[in-house]
Structure 1
Amino acid sequence: MEVRVLPGSPLFLSNFLNHNDQLNRLTGKTYPDSTTVNYTYDNDSRLTQVNDPTGTYQFTFDNMGRLTGTTTSYTFLARNFTASYAYDKASNRTGFTDPENGATSYVYDTLNRLQTLTPPSAFTGSGNFGFSYDALSRRTQMTRPNNLVTNYGYDNLSHLLSVLHQSGSTTLDGASYGVDNAGNRTSRTPQPSGTASNYTYDPIYELTQVTQGGSTTESYTYDPVGNRLSTLGVSPYNVNTSNELTSTPTTTYTYDSNGNTLTKAVGSNATNYTWDFENRLASVTLPGSGGTVSFKYDPFGRRIYKSSSSGTSVYAYDGDNLIEETNASGTVVARYSQTEYVDEPLAMLRSGTTSYFHTDGLGSTTSLSNASGALAQTYTYDSFGKRVTSSGSLTNPFQYTSRELDDETSLYYFRARYFDPSTGRFISEDPLGWDVGPNYYSYVDNSPLFLIDPSGLAPCKIDAKCRANRTTPLRVIRIGTLGIVNIKHCYIGVTDANGDTSIISAGPDRNDFHKMTSGVKPVKDSDEKNNFNKDKDLKLKCSNGDDPCHQVDCLVAAGKEYQNRFPVYDFRGQKAPNSNSFTNQVTQACGLTYSFPRFATGSGFQP
């Protein structure tokens, strides 16, 4: 887990003033109302404390820089939340103690893949979750304490073809998928029974139509920058030059100068929105007698408070994952067990009852089961997350792509922003600004069947890149009658959920051409990013059994795992590995297939 300070977007710097020390570390913020945020670091520049109007947040680390403990004290709650962490020699997390002193333990296989997760005894007694993998590190099975098993099936290109939640040989829930040559999902068939949905795309893979049998159930058209222009039975969607949705046949919208939605009016019924200085949703006033829903956030952008006519919820976190919910008095209402991945809830403990999550290939919750292994709750959604059906009486926030649905507002909380499934877009601009392209409101480039956006920022992205090396004697090679050719250097670029880009690559050491240096390097400045964008994109076959953010995490971990594993470098990749050998090893470790171009020598080298 990494504790990060995310400064405000350049688009919104006028809303507050940043303060930095001589080491260029963010030490404080001052808002227009004179409230402040203060940051404290240790001698190794690790963030150890943050104070702001919502509370005090403290962090401790071991001598390897790993997070060992957190203490959170909210100003509006008369209790603290503490958590602690333990690790093995490979820095895998082996233990986590939550604010209720519940212990979670983790066991890994020899490839550092999570094998067993045992949640606090309050959830399951002595039960645990088990994870199995194939030779390509694709997850093939997950077992639960209630004996329900999830099995995953793939084709030979690692496309996910099925997710089946089973009791013995009986399938209780799940889905099977069809996939085209580009990796787009062409169909989804609910299991154990149901009508298949078939999907159609435009040339840039935006979803345009969903059919069931001979009937069209969804249809979409878009303008050149991805604004929705029409849906089935609804036309037109009107947008202005800032790509703000201004009206549909039934609804009108207004915005503030930062692009945040201010009002949504359906006839005479108006919903009003207010925003804080960081352009985070502060309140929603509902029409009629719906009342006002208000929110608070911590200095890291995590939502820590929600209050409405239904009551008050206070939230505690493990990194970005919600692990606990209390009422206004600090009494626990719900606890959640999750993996270390973002948005992979495993179990919920609410009112003394444990429920187990079951998700589809997109990571959306489709059902929850009880301790006896029977389904207690089911959900279905349209392609953009609008809930179509719900059976059962469980209270559960994690629904479409396992994000939190606020029933009061019908909006999904996607961390940095809120998503409206009825319009298929966010209600405020992407804080990353121009880095995401000209349209700051679109959701996953209108490809919601195989892309997700857990942070509300730019979708996680994996780029396979290759470029010709410089034409020096050390970068060219004579190949038979082809003469002298330029060797191709291939590498991986990844963009994580926070919009940060890193390069995973290898090459010769600057001081010793026969020594390899490798690893993961952040792309920090505009020149590096421009060079990265210029390099040729290649086809990379990803495993759709894992969402892109999980794949990014896997590649970064593999890049660090393989770092300096191969000490000898051979630019031809014949007697020893080269950069292409390294790239091939890293991608294979995550179940990905890299389509290397001609003259990418060494890509087939097996150390």
Structure 2
Amino acid sequence: MTQVTQSGAGVDDKRVDFAYDAIGQFEAISRYSDLAGTSSVVSSAYDYDQLNRLKRLSHSNSTGEVAFYDFAYDAANRITQITDVDGSSDYSYNARNELIGADHTDGSNPDESYDYDANGNRVSSSLHGSGYVTGANNQLLSDGIYTYEYDKEGNLIRQTEIVTGIVRNLTWDYLNRLVRVVDVDSAGSEVMRVEYTYDIVGRRIAKSVDSDGAGNAAAQTLRFVYDRDHVLMEFDGASSVPNMRYLYGPQIDQIIAQQDGMGITLWMLSDHLGTVKDLVDDAGNLVNHRTFDSYGNLVVQSDDSFSSRYGFTGREFDEETGLHYYRARYYDGQTGRFIG
């Protein structure tokens, strides 16, 4: 694919051009807010070393760089340093190539350290404590903050906060798809309920969020329309007018732009993992810069009024549960584990 466009009723014109090197790696991506390619938003440039490893990724508007990433590697091709607009991050690994340290010069991003057992299970984390207990089948039983219980299929069915006694009950269908999440306080009152609906091929086509459970607030439903495996449009409740439209590139989960029902377009600028770190407007101006830790948890953002559900590795984040939706599975960035 060398070009993708978006146009039609209810959506502003957009065009994105893709250029590749001789072995098919991205060389440049050019984004435009028109079909003619005259109104430039942001362009991206990719540089590689002699081993075809990404050496530098930069995103630039008409006045200069909006974001950049410089990479250093060790002899095992592991990333040892990333330098970006926030400073430098140095990464260290053990003999099994597991991440054991991430030291950041950016003061708003805490340093990270991790320890693992012989099977690769996390036993301590500088961000989340050292109370990890692993049981049979390498299942996490406790991380010192929560205790965890599973069904016979290995799906997480109960998470209990140790200090408060708040319980999260998770329900899975016969295809091991998560269909319900209910939070219950220590008095037994339901304080949140989320329900998910899937189509015949397993795509999540709706989620209903009751933010106060048994309270008076009505549940809010969000429906999804797909183009193959990507969400093309979102609808609120029974509305026939999209409240969000999306544009994607040729790679899986390569989200390029989103436009809401008010006509506001945000362009997504990602890092080497596809994580959406920066959002810019149609003029290429930075409107929100986001920082994530190594396991995908949002640390800080500059302006959350310009937001997107898409974040770590380009996947959807469900704010109501704190889980990342990876189609067939849900991921918990706090524990660094898939929950089913």
Report the TM-score when normalising by structure 2. 0.87
Counterpart AA for 1:414: Y
- What SS does structure 2 have at the residue aligned with 1:401? helix
- In the alignment, what sits opposite 1:420? 332
8 Å CA contact retained: 2:181, 2:193: yes
Cα deviation digits, residues 34-78 of structure 1 (max 9, x gap)? xxxxxxxxxxxxxxxxxxxxxxxxxxxxxxxxxxxxxxxxxxxxx
- Alignment identity in percent? 32
CA contact (8 A) 1:162 1:361 kept: no
Other-structure match for 1:371: 282
- Which has the larger share of strand? 2
How far apart, CA to CA, are the structure 2 residues paired with 1:379 and 1:365?
8
Match of 1:145 among 16, 26, 32: 32
TM-superposed CA distance for 1:265, in Å, is 1.1
Name the counterpart of 1:236: 131
- Counterparts of 2:260 and 2:328, CA distance in 1: 27
Specify which of 235, 250, 272 is matched with residue 169 of structure 2. 272
- C-alpha distance after superposition, 1:558-606 (max 9, x if no partner): xxxxxxxxxxxxxxxxxxxxxxxxxxxxxxxxxxxxxxxxxxxxxxxxx
Q: Any residues of structure 2 matched to 1:34-49 within 5 Å, and which?
A: none
Give 2:247's aligned residue. Answer: 337
Kept in 1, the 8 Å contact 2:29–2:43? The answer is: yes
Match of 1:291, SS state, is strand
Alpha-carbon offset, residue 290 of structure 1:
3.9
Alignment partners' CA distance in 2, 1:308 and 1:355? 25
* 2:305 matches 1:361: no
Residues 141 and 340 (structure 1), Cα distance of their counterparts in 2 relative to 1, 3 Å cut: closer
- The one-letter amino acid of 1:264's match is Q
How far 1:327 moved relative to its partner? Answer: 1.8
**1: CA distance, partners of 2:184 / 2:81:** 39
Partner of 1:180: 74
- 1:469 equivalent in structure 2: none
1:395 is displaced (CA, Å) by: 3.8
Change (3 A) 1:369 1:160: same
- What residue ranges of structure 2 are gaps of 5+ in the alignment? 34-39, 212-219
Q: 2:147 aligns with which of 237, 252, 258?
A: 252
Matched letter for residue 143 of structure 2 = T
Shift of the alpha carbon at 1:219? 0.8
2:234 corresponds to which residue? 325
Tell me how far apart the structure 2 counterparts of residues 130 and 123 of structure 1 sit (CA, whole Å): 19
SS state at 2:87 partner: coil
Letter in 2 for 1:399: G
1:199-224 CA-to-partner distances (Å, cap 9, x unmatched) read 00111211111113599711111122
Amino acid in the other structure paired with 1:307: S
Change (3 A) 1:228 1:294: same
Partner of 1:53: none
Equivalence for 1:303 = 204
CA distance in structure 2 between the aligned counterparts of 1:214 and 1:204, rounded to whole angstroms: 28
Q: Which residue of 2 is the match for residue 386 of structure 1?
A: 297
Q: Does 1:201 align with 2:112?
A: no
> Which residue does 1:506 correspond to in 2?
none
- Secondary structure at the aligned position of 1:140 is classed as strand
Shift of 1:249: 1.8
1:226 aligns with 120
Aligned-partner residue type, residue 201 of structure 2: F
Cα distance in 1, alignment partners of residues 266 and 63 from structure 2: 21
Match of 1:129 in 2: 16
Report the Cα distance in structure 1 between the residues aligned to 2:315 and 2:106, rounded to whole angstroms. Answer: 32
Q: Which amino acid in structure 2 is aligned with residue 376 of structure 1?
A: V
Cα drift, residue 287 of structure 1: 4.2
1:409 maps to which of 304, 321, 325: 321
One-letter identity of the residue aligned with 2:237: A
The 5 A counterparts of 1:436-475 are: none
Q: TM-score, normalised by structure 1?
A: 0.50
What is the number of residues matched between the two proteins? 312
Provide, for residues 116-171 of structure 1, a one-character-per-residue CA deviation record: whole Å limited to 9, x for no partner.
2111245443x411111222322111111142111111111111112111013611
Letter paired with 1:244 = Q
**Code of the aligned partner of 1:341:** Q
Shift of 1:378: 2.0
Shift of residue 115, structure 1, vs aligned partner: 1.7
SS of corresponding position for 1:362 = coil
Letter in 2 for 1:227: N
Greater C-alpha Rg: 1
Structure-2 separation of matches of 1:138 and 1:305: 35
Query: Could you say which residue in structure 2 is the equivalent of 1:316?
Result: 225
* Partner Cα distance (1:337, 1:278) in 2: 30
The separation in 1 between residues aligned to 2:112 and 2:84, in whole angstroms, is 17
Post-superposition shift, 1:340?
A: 3.7
Taking the aligned partners of 1:290 and 1:162, their CA distance within structure 2 comes to 46
Tell whether 2:106 aligns with 1:211: no
Does structure 2 conserve the Cα–Cα contact (< 8 Å) formed by 1:123 and 1:354? no
- Which of 177, 182, 187 is residue 285 of structure 1 equivalent to? 182
Q: 2: distance between equivalents of 1:134 and 1:278?
A: 42
CA RMSD of aligned residues (A): 1.9
Q: Which residue of 2 aligns with 1:436?
A: none
Using the TM superposition, give the Cα deviation of residue 188 of structure 1 relative to its aligned residue in structure 2, in angstroms: 1.1
